[in-house]
Amino acid sequence: MRKRKFSVFGVGCIIVALLAMGCGTDSKNDTAPADETAVLEQENEVSDAGGDAENPKEDSNKLVSEKDIHIGVTSMTLKEAVYGFVNEAMVKRAQEYGNVTVDWVACENDASVQMSQVEGYIQQGVDIIVIEPARSDACVKMVEACNDAGIPVINMNAAITGIQVDYRVDSNSELVGQMQVEKFVELYGTDKPAKVAVIGGSVGDECAETITKAVQEACGKYDNIEVVLTQMHQNWDRQLAMNTMENLCVQYPDLNAIFSNNDTMALGCMKAAQDAEIADNIYFFGADWDQDSAELILGGATNLYVVNKGASDQGIKMADMAVDIVNGREPAYDEEVDGTKIKYSVMSMVGPENIKEEVQAKYPELLK
């Protein structure tokens, strides 16, 4: 059962997505900027800096936590660039409070290592733990251990299954898939046949499976689109995606689009298509907005589009949510799904049309 808190997000984002543009809002704001620099400014100046009954602050220009707070984070990996942006933004946001600290470790997709990391945080006596599950179905004991210790949990990204977690911060994975397909339709049209393939992440990863399903369902709305292959890839691996693409180049040299769950696999597919000399006829879609993608689009790639999932915004929202929870305040959220209150990051579609604006916001050094 889905319960929604009053928010522009539920309607505004879907409408914008169908127009193949980026979207997102804070539940206390009517609009939200597409770029991450503007997000930082808006979050500081509007959504959380001001005081109200649920979220009291000392004044309108300073973030305040009534308690000293130690946040422990365990993520799937730190090897992908997107995690660096989430981490950096979360730490910076914590520093703005003055009495909030963040520790961050990665389990590198090993659930047993993640369990040890959670136990370590419990022994340290952290105030709240953020868990991005290595496996969605392998976190029951972790959450139970936190509950027994009286430590609240925030679920980051892919949903934890098998046990109730009250709060979650995520990009809207369903919307990622919708944005990819709608952008392709905008570029390609609906008046001629289109053969496409879906390149998914790990089987069992809720984020990967949600994006993949959303792409499939969005494609199903158009009679001219044929999904010739949907293939999942363990650990969202670039080389595995390249191998899949090499086979696709042989079987379907007339392929029109690749919808990938992340930038890494999208660029692997693009490289394989370039080697097969058919890349110019294919649109490649990714998600994460990595620097490699920025450099390629700046360099003239007109057939590469990626969803900026709002990594910096996600880090900000995780810090703010953690502070509110530990201080006994109800954090802002966009919707409630099966008892979990979810806050989504701001997202946008990045391509040749808006590349300089988006690069200026996230990778300004590339414009020098």
Residue-wise pLDDT for 349-359, tens only, equals 999 999 999 99
Q: For residue 113, what are its two tokens?
A: 């290592």
Pair 154, 226 in one domain: no
Pair 163, 34 in one domain: yes
Arithmetic mean of pLDDT over the chain: 86
Q: Which residue range forms the structural domain that includes residue 328?
A: 25-171+311-345
Q: For residue 355, what are its two tokens?
A: 């590349």
pLDDT at 45 over 50: no
Which sign does the torsion angle of CA 288, 293, 295, 297 carry? negative
pLDDT at 22 over 80: no
Pair 209, 149 in one domain: no
Which comes out higher in pLDDT, residue 368 or 161? 161
Asked, for residue 368, whether it belongs to a domain, the answer is no
**For 296-316, what is the HEC assignment?**
HHHCCCCCEEEEECCHHHHHH
Domain end call among 308, 334, 355: 308
Check residue 206 and give its pLDDT. 85
- The structural domain count of the chain equals 2
- Among all chains, which residue has been given the structure tokens 């701001």? 346
pLDDT digits (tens, 9 = 90+) for 175-221: 999 999 999 999 999 999 999 999 999 998 888 999 999 999 999 99
* Element at 287 (helix H, strand E): strand 283-287
Selection from 28, 321, 27, 2 nearest residue 155 by Cα: 321
Asked, for residue 90, whether it belongs to a domain, the answer is yes
The reply to whether the predicted model has a pTM over 0.85 is: no
Pair 85, 203 in one domain: no
Q: Are strands 304-308 and 283-287 parallel, antiparallel or unpaired?
A: parallel
pLDDT at 49 over 50: no
pLDDT at 60 over 60: no
Question: Within 13 Å and on the Cβ side, how many CA atoms surround 73?
Answer: 26
What is the rounded average pLDDT of the residues 90-107?
97
Asked, for residue 277, whether it belongs to a domain, the answer is yes
Check residue 61 and give its pLDDT. 54
pLDDT digits (tens, 9 = 90+) for 274-317: 999 999 999 999 999 999 999 999 999 999 999 999 999 999 99
Dihedral, CA of residue 86, residue 324, residue 100 and residue 29, to nearest 10: 50
Helix then strand then coil, % of the chain, to nearest 5: 45, 20, 35
